[in-house]
Amino acid sequence: MQFNTLDLITFAGFIVFVVAFTLYVSRKEDTAEDYFLAGRSLSWWVIGLSLIASNISTEHFIGQAGQGFKGDIGLAVASFEWIGALALVIVGIFLLPRFLRAGIYTMPEYAACGIPICFTSG
């Protein structure tokens, strides 16, 4: 399969659009907190949909569908998502407030500060 001219124009146009849109949106962000938390301006349902969309990958569409079709465990493979949703709720209720009080917004910040320091600060 080879790219033709229309494919290349479409690809280049998409890249230009993404870069331009990113530059336009990011001009309002001054700090890493603004960037990672969207300036704390998003509603709960947008954040929830973002978490679910970030969790879905090729593994879901191909791997889990194939595992369910294979017949070994059938639809029980779908419980993977239910457990994931439950884990997100538990983390959101119990751990997220502590992370935010400690000023942790990304996983690298969490790894850099160390577990005892993070949980004793709040």
Task: Read off the pLDDT of residues 48-75 as tens digits, 9 standing for 90 and up.
Answer: 788 777 777 777 777 777 777 777 776 6
Q: What is the mean pLDDT of residues 78-84?
A: 77
Give the other-Cβ count within 10 Å of 104's Cβ: 20
**Is residue 40 domain-shared with residue 73, that is, in the same domain?**
yes
**Is residue 12 domain-shared with residue 51, that is, in the same domain?**
no
Q: Are 28 and 34 in contact (CB under 8 A)?
A: yes
Q: How far apart are CA 80 and CA 64, in angstroms?
A: 9
Residue 119 pLDDT > 70, yes or no? Answer: no
The helix/strand count (H/E) of the chain reads as 9, 0
**Is residue 47 domain-shared with residue 89, that is, in the same domain?**
yes
Helix (H), strand (E) at residue 5: helix 5-26
Q: Is the pTM of this model over 0.75?
A: no
Task: Read off the pLDDT of residues 23-50 as tens digits, 9 standing for 90 and up.
Answer: 887 777 677 777 777 777 878 788 778 8
Q: What is the mean pLDDT of residues 90-114?
A: 81
Domain, as residue range, for 26: 1-30
**Is residue 79 domain-shared with residue 37, that is, in the same domain?**
yes
